[in-house]
Structure 1
Amino acid sequence: MDVSGLPGFYAIAAADPGRRAVIDADGSATTYGDLLARVNQVSHGLRARGLTTGDVVAGVLPNGLDAVVMLMATGQIGLYYVPINWHLTAAEIAYIVADCDAKVVVAGPEYAAAVPGAEVGTAGLAEGRPADAPAGRTSGAVMWYTSGTTGFPKGVQRPLPGAEPEAVVPMYTWFLGEVVDLAPGDDVHLVTSPMYHSAPCAHTQFALHLGHTVVIAPRFDPVGILELIERHRVNNAMMVPTMFHRMLQLPEEVKARYDVSSLRHVIHTAAACPVAVKQKIMDWWGPVLYEYYGSTESTIAFSVKPHDWLARPGTVGRPAPTFEAKICDEAGEPLPPGEPGMIYVKSSLGTFEYRKDPAKTAASMLGEWYAPGDIGYLDEDGYLFLCDRRTDLIISGGVNIYPAEIEAALFEHPAVADVAVIGVPDEEWGHNVVALVQPADGVKPGPELTAELLEHCGPRIARFKHPKVIAYRDELPRTPTGKLSRSRVREAYLAEAGKTSSSE
């Protein structure tokens, strides 16, 4: 059935109930009609618990059908939904539940013990409830918790639209189409990351609003992802750069075994992607990589399509529709093209506030402009190039050094599986550049590899950017979306000071 004229999931499910909606991590399939019935039942169940417009529901749910149901149920009865990272401790989960004032918490069976009083799954909410649409439908919103660079996590809260989903969804599907060329139809979307993160969650929701089938990977495994792409003829997916890097490390005969010709839109965000990594993926998959840059607070602020990136390797794009951008110095004064400074963005779509923290909200703004916390520059044509996060900037001998640039150079070496570059205090220079390297499988760390990596840096980055120390680690701590907390890596390294060496 042609769904291009239908305004989102609820209308599509009513008009085409037999359409395939979700293929869960265990391979089980759910139709749009069955999904809508469960969504409606849970909506009625939440209302029966006394929840009204503007109230908050939290979910500690693994990727799967229940997570999708909660997303779509809260989305039609004016509730804020807070997905919570299931890797957090019981105390950390309790903090978020209390801070967001959740009136109901739904947890997966494996996490329920860490969340006293939680509903276990959605079955209890749905039981005995009607499967028809609830009265007085009005759009809800997802409120993600983010800690930024420091402090306790805070909820990023936006005003509720005050209209039913069918009135609001078309604007967002238009925006998504403009940014990453996604359109309503019979496409298949692959979920590769935990849905407690903003981008995977949002793309799951909008895949359903576009009438797509959502395939949920049980976890990220390079071969497993390729198998799912081939088996389900996946057309679009959300990934992060570390996933690309891991897939590129597969043997050529393994990569050649899988048909990935169905891929048309592979969207990546969350972390800087080294130019060499992105180029190699497009050599393999074709020009299908779409990139956007933003944050939980700003949403999608910049975007770049494959051919524009190939013409300007390294850019994260131009301002997305409705967005304006500027680069400012420390005093808040605008800088000319080519000069790195703090990135500021604003959008006519509205702004956000940190729940219960007006001071933190105010500190992140420059008038109407929001600062994601990154340093970058605009070229003459308005394309943004990122340098690094302000908090990760290394100043050595009075010169600004951006860790991401050094990491990108080291990532090009086949012996490097992962790398984190940090600044370590030094009495003479202010900071020294230290690279923590996770060697690829079968690669032996030591002085010979250190010399090889430093030689590799020679033609790629200026000598003053070369690591003074290269230390080796079995693994570096990354989130499932590929983000690396350099502050945590730095703290761990300094705690071991005196025990490390350049060929550790």
Structure 2
Amino acid sequence: MTTIDKSTFKGIVCGSRHLTHEEFRQTMLRAATGFRHLGIEPGDCIGIFLRNDIPFVAVNQAASYIGAYAVPINWHLAGEELSYILQDCGAKVLVIHADLWRGIRDDIPEGVQCLVVETHEDIRAAYGLSPGDCEVPSGMVSWDKWLASHEPTGEPPLQGPASMLYTSGTTGHPKGVRRIPLAADEAKQMLDFRSRVYGCAPGARCMVPGPLYHSAPNGYGVQASRISDLLVIVPRFDAEDTLRLIEEYKLTAAMMVPIMFIRLLKLPEQTRSRYDLSSLEFVIHAAAPCPADIKRKMIDWFGPVINEFYGSTESGAVVACNSEQALAKPGSVGTIVPEADVRILDEQGNIVPANTIGEIYSRFPINDFTYNGKPEARAEIDRDGYITSGDVGYMDEDGFLFIADRVKDMVISGGVNIYPAEIESVLHNYPGIKDCAVFGVPDDEFGESVMAVLEVENEDGVSINEVTVYLREHLAGFKVPRSIVIGENLPREDSGKIFKRRLRDHYWEKAGRKI
């Protein structure tokens, strides 16, 4: 058995598996051939319902190679949520881990061809899964056998689109962010942009511990797998294991979220000092606000390699911040990247002066999009070609952006967007609940956690435990409120709508922050 020198290995790694770039490329090209044989045409959609794994990136790249859209889907979603997305995008194929297939098989729409990936022991161990559940079920198409039955395509690649990721809105219904296909020169610009802002450049040795179904890790992982020396795909984040991987593979780059920083900093000093992290050059974080003191502690520990970008699934990264800027402007998310533009607008659409809070609008011309099948939803967030994700903030006199609050009620918990309207719509169907309010409250570990206040017909007739069980049957686990209480005489606006901010504000006042 050949011994692998992890410090110099080049290719794609996930747990115990190591593929050279050429081995990975052959896998991707076989998948491209197979998708063609399944009738996938340019513009079609291929669903991905996988944990972090090598096949995830292979499918992503193969779809793009033949001009199709890869549609990464959050594998925590309940079956009915998965079904909605597959139907909305018209997916012809779904690539899915065996254990996940067993949980949602009855909700996969008819006509969707499933390619079932054996859940590798690396993932089984990380999630404590049963070996039997991880085997490809009898009668289903095995991903490995399907791949082996196809030769690598010899056709040249098409200029494929970026992944189509789904993001919820105030209605609670997910919307597919469908990128406008790029010309060759624009694609080169985007590659260079991500190399600079994400740090996954040629020659880099990268790690992605965040979920590949999420916008930023997906873009990072796909690019790093194409052009960087190494991509280490982490099945499940573990703080000490992250330090081990950095040392063993001499990693130079990684994409993280603030909750990972918090868990790393909670490690005992003896553990933290055990690992050599001197190879690190560029760690990028995004997805949720990072407290200034957490960032400073990470810079003190890792060195001036901590970088941040601000944006959304729709906008992409429009603002960026390095370590020096973060220390000079604590709490800022940085300055506008050259490829984009940002405006702070008042309610009438006027640009506000420096240090004045308004709604944040941005424009990134070569990264434009439409919502799949919902152009009217795209128009709703647009002002003169600039779009908003509902955040409010201000730009200081030096051009640094600060996030102050959010217009919408979206909760960001551990870097994951959670939309109260979706949870409220499920609660409204529960017997005995007259009305409800769902909102985010401060959480020391996750930044925010979800809370629900219920207005009930008869307090003795509603069990909090039973409500929780009901929610878990209809929603992904991360959307279920961590705290549910029964309230009386809930504050209401003149229209009769619950005044949610009055419920929310006293929790944030106690925490001394607003976001």
Equivalent of 2:152 in 128, 131, 156: 131
Contact kept in structure 1, 2:74 and 2:213, CA below 8 Å: yes
2:17 matched to 1:21? no
CA RMSD of aligned residues (A): 3.0
Q: Where do 1:28-427 residues align within 5 Å?
A: 28-113=17-102, 114-115=104-105, 116=108, 117-121=113-117, 122-135=143-156, 137-161=158-182, 163=184, 169-180=187-198, 182-185=200-203, 187-392=204-409, 416-417=444-445, 420=448
Note the C-alpha offset of 1:388. Answer: 1.8
CA distance in 1, matches of 2:258, 2:296: 12
Number of aligned residue pairs = 404
Note the C-alpha offset of 1:28. Answer: 1.2
CA distance in 2, matches of 1:34, 1:424: 49
**CA shift digits 1:105-139 (9 cap, x unpaired):** 11111122324441113325423222243246332
Amino acid across the alignment from 2:116:
V
CA distance in 1, matches of 2:449, 2:216: 25
Note the C-alpha offset of 1:162. Answer: 5.5
**CA shift digits 1:395-422 (9 cap, x unpaired):** xxxxxxxx99x95xxx8xxxx5455489
Note the C-alpha offset of 1:291. Answer: 0.3
CA distance in 1, matches of 2:445, 2:360: 30
| 3-state DSSP of counterpart to 1:203 | helix
Contact kept in structure 2, 1:239 and 1:268, CA below 8 Å: yes
Change (3 A) 1:100 1:419: closer
Note the C-alpha offset of 1:350. Answer: 4.5
Moved more, 257-266 or 136-145: 136-145
Moved more, 117-126 or 344-353: 117-126
Note the C-alpha offset of 1:349. Answer: 1.2
Change (3 A) 1:123 1:495: farther
Change (3 A) 1:57 1:392: closer
- TM-score when normalising by structure 2: 0.73
Contact kept in structure 1, 2:47 and 2:91, CA below 8 Å: yes
Change (3 A) 1:417 1:40: closer
CA distance in 2, matches of 1:317, 1:365: 23
Amino acid across the alignment from 1:170:
K
Note the C-alpha offset of 1:355. Answer: 0.8
Contact kept in structure 2, 1:23 and 1:215, CA below 8 Å: yes
CA distance in 1, matches of 2:259, 2:338: 28
| 3-state DSSP of counterpart to 1:371 | strand
Structure 1's unaligned 5+ residue stretches are 1-17, 395-402, 426-476, 478-483
Amino acid across the alignment from 1:120:
V
Note the C-alpha offset of 1:209. Answer: 2.8
CA distance in 1, matches of 2:157, 2:301: 49
Amino acid across the alignment from 1:137:
L
Change (3 A) 1:495 1:356: farther
Note the C-alpha offset of 1:210. Answer: 2.4
| 3-state DSSP of counterpart to 2:99 | coil
Structure 2's unaligned 5+ residue stretches are 1-7, 118-142, 412-438, 454-471, 473-477, 490-505, 511-515
| 3-state DSSP of counterpart to 1:59 | strand
**CA shift digits 1:256-276 (9 cap, x unpaired):** 111111111110000000000
Amino acid across the alignment from 1:237:
A
Amino acid across the alignment from 1:335:
V
CA distance in 2, matches of 1:303, 1:329: 23
